[in-house]
Structure 1
Amino acid sequence: MSSKHLTAHSTESAASKPKPAVWSKQCQRYQKHKYFYLMLAPLIVYYLIFEYGPLYGVQIAFKDYMLRQGIWGSPWVGWKHFQYMFTLSPDFYKILSNTVIISLYQIVFGFPAPIILALLFNELRLKMFKRISQTISYLPHFLSWVVLGGMLITILSPTTGAVNILLGWFGIEPIYFLGDPKYFRFTLVLSSIWKEIGWGTIIYLAALAGIDLHLYEAARIDGANRWKQTIHITLPSIMYIIAILFIFKTGSILSAGFDQIFNLYNPAVYSVADILDTYVYRVGLTQLQYSFTTAVGLFKNIVAFSMVMMTNYIVKKMGQEGIL
């Protein structure tokens, strides 16, 4: 028998030998860490029931849904509601434009805000002052927009609001922040930053705490001031977490914040404030157009998924770790 045949025969024999039981090893791992996996059970059950379970209702977007007949009994209509959304709906493109503009404002001005605040907190040396400042900054996060909306309506009132009274001291005419289309988006974005900026700093402060202090010592020896240390050490060290959060942020580009807008807007600012979420609520629940609004919601989710994948691809091409 030639050496070639011997090699082939030995290769086949090795391949025919039983491989290690990978499944057995996995079972041993599960058995070893069973309590850790048990802690995941409530989260898995939650997602199965409230996130994946309702996905069967997506088919409403392709049906003329009728309450009496239910989801399965309603007739199929194919792409009818999507065609109406893109060609016949008089409000869709205006509402889509409002959603994208408000989301872009929140990304451009709101996304860097917690990063800047975290860098400022990181420079504080008085621990007590740092803790108090941080606590004050993220307290608004724990208040719902129902409460904050009432506070803002009172504070920004053109007649009795504290802001307009202060502006009156400087000879400025009262401004209807929540009733004038020129100022509504500005008020919306600024109030959103005020509510969430402190909470967003928690993640960045945790990332800053993991930076090796020897890097700063070496930079100081080389003569780098605080600004150069921030640019060349701090920001590159937390760039991975910035990239991941930016990916998630772009995924919400068609979710401009239903709770906030619903509690602050009014018919006077519908032209600049009505977004997809409020439109779905108003048309879907008040006019009972469930199929059409499901189609709008499905379109929004598809765009969000596409934005996440595209941003993740760009981030990875730039040398950062993405989410996939």
Structure 2
Amino acid sequence: MNKTILLNQRPQGKPTLADFKTITEEVPAPQEGEVLLKTVYVSVDPYLRGRMNDARSYVPPFQLNEPIRSGIIAEVVKSKHADYQKGDFVSGTLAWKEYQTSTGKGLQPVDPSVAPLSSYLGVLGLTGLTAYLGLMEIGKPTKGETLVVSGAAGAVGSVVGQIGKLLGCRVVGITGSDEKVALLTDTFSFDQAINYKTAADLKQAIQTACPDGVDCYFDNVGGEISDAVMAQLNKYARIAVCGAISLYNETKVPMGPRLQPIILTRSATMRGFIVSDFAEKFPPASKQLAAWLGEGKLTATETIVEGFDRIPRAFLDLFEGKNTGKMIVKV
């Protein structure tokens, strides 16, 4: 039989397991021009929380009693499609199902001989592209500048920091545990890292870690952490707003510092982005990321949870900071 995970109800604040429902269906049979896919790896990402709300956004919301969808690596187990053979591996935005059919639209072949399959959901997938293109197109870091990354031990943040070091920046990461602080400095070669949960004065901690101010800020979290970083911006600073995980589960709009005076007086540029904004630049970006990974200049860190039934729990764990690097479920 074929398990499928549906959106059972829209979360009020922080999601719970009750917001998901697992049903069992028959395994579908591919029609002419289709393939039958078996899910191998599932990506769980913070942005999925926004799609659980019935609200306008850059992508349509998930519908109640319909399967949740995210990045998936799947194996072709049956093919009636001219372009795919049994045993091929593909990536795409697919449903949280053990098995599903596809016409091939939106699928991308992936090669396990080039890199581990899970890498195509992480550093060689949209995660890596988000880090690279957000940093290069908006952050525009140059050698000798100071780059601060929030959510620095997460999937995107850990790649952003490593790229910053490759470009010759001083890189400071903000994260939520002493273990992750050590990971950032020892494994990812960040110049310094700050545990925001134990810092007595976060603004002062950032100022100490960034004695020359902040030239580029890659924001994955928003909230009070970003408020503290903004206070240290240099003139002509660039802020790439990739995410705001600290705010996703808020039921009321929180009040924070007014940013306009800082943006104005520092002549700073602040831009939010979705990785698809730079779709035309995916091929050269993917080539560069693959080259760095192959040369050992990038370290891909993953938290892999095993079992299809554990997909919802893995998603919830993102909001507890239980992942290091990319959170992936191996089916």
TM range (shorter): under 0.3
* Highest RCO, 1 vs 2 (Cα 8 Å, sep ≥ 6): 1
The structure with more helix, counted as a fraction of residues? 1
The structure with more strand, counted as a fraction of residues? 2
Could you tell me the TM-score, scaled by structure 2's length?
Answer: 0.19
Could you tell me the TM-score, scaled by structure 1's length?
Answer: 0.19
